[in-house]
């Protein structure tokens, strides 16, 4: 049997990027979650995946809407990361966002945004594995430094030499 505390410590020692996944609910409110479990999957077709907890209040909305925007957060977006990590409504309250041509809420300031349609969903223990087919990429003219998460802390990745 694997000790849950040790397991979390070991996996938490692996640095990862931080994403916020957003969509709109039936009332037009922004719904979403923060996830570090994100990866590219395929170039042809272009697929990415993220893994929300089944208990997330955003999971059923993402499954119903079947479209979403994955924001690769910049180091300046800790407020966004924390806002979407909590449960409840109004996660985007006070945050700057616009609606994309594909109908996804887009948060300002990300290093990039990947707009997807749900392609497949798989069971992954206590998390879903949601695979999105990429339909649009949004890249700012000047990409800010990305956010990394390691050992329970978020920080901006320093510039590379």
Angle at 46 between CA 42 and CA 51, to 5 degrees: 70
- Write out the two tokens for 142: 């000047």
> Is residue 16 assigned to a domain?
yes
pTM of the model: 0.94
Statement: residue 63 has pLDDT above 60: yes
- Computed over every residue of the chain, the mean pLDDT equals 95
pLDDT value of residue 157: 82
Which CATH number covers residue 124?
Answer: 2.30.110.10
Task: For residue 129, say if its preceding peptide bond is cis, omega within 30 degrees of 0.
Answer: no
Number of domains in the chain: 1
- Residue 161 included in any domain: no
pLDDT in tens, 96-129: 999 999 999 999 999 999 999 999 999 999 999 9
Over the stretch 15-45, which tens digit does the pLDDT of each residue have? 999 999 999 999 999 999 999 999 999 999 9
* 47 neighbors 133 (Cβ within 8 angstroms): yes
Angstrom distance (rounded) from CA 161 to CA 159: 7
Q: Find out whether 93 and 138 touch, Cβ atoms under 8 Å.
A: no
- Secondary structure of residue 84 in the 3-state scheme: helix
Q: Tell me, yes or no, whether 81 lies in a domain.
A: yes
- Measured in whole angstroms, the distance separating CA 77 from the mean position of its chain's CA atoms is 12
Q: Which range marks the domain in which residue 148 is found?
A: 4-155
């Amino acid at each position: 049997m694997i000790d849950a505390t040790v397991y979390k410590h070991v996996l938490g020692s692996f640095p990862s990027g931080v994403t916020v996944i957003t969509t709109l609910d039936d009332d037009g409110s922004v719904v979403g979650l923060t996830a570090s479990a994100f990866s590219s999957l395929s170039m042809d077709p272009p697929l990415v995946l993220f893994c929300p907890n089944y208990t997330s209040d955003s999971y059923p909305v993402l499954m119903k809407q079947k479209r979403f925007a994955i924001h690769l957060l910049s180091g300046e977006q800790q407020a966004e990361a924390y806002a979407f990590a909590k449960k409840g409504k109004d996660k985007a309250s006070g945050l700057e966002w616009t609606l994309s041509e594909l109908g996804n809420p887009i948060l300002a300031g990300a290093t990039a945004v990947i707009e997807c349609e749900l392609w497949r969903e798989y069971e992954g223990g206590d998390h879903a594995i949601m695979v999105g087919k990429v339909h649009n990429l949004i890249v700012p003219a000047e990409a800010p430094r990305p956010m990394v998460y390691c050992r329970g802390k978020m920080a901006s990745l320093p510039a590379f030499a």
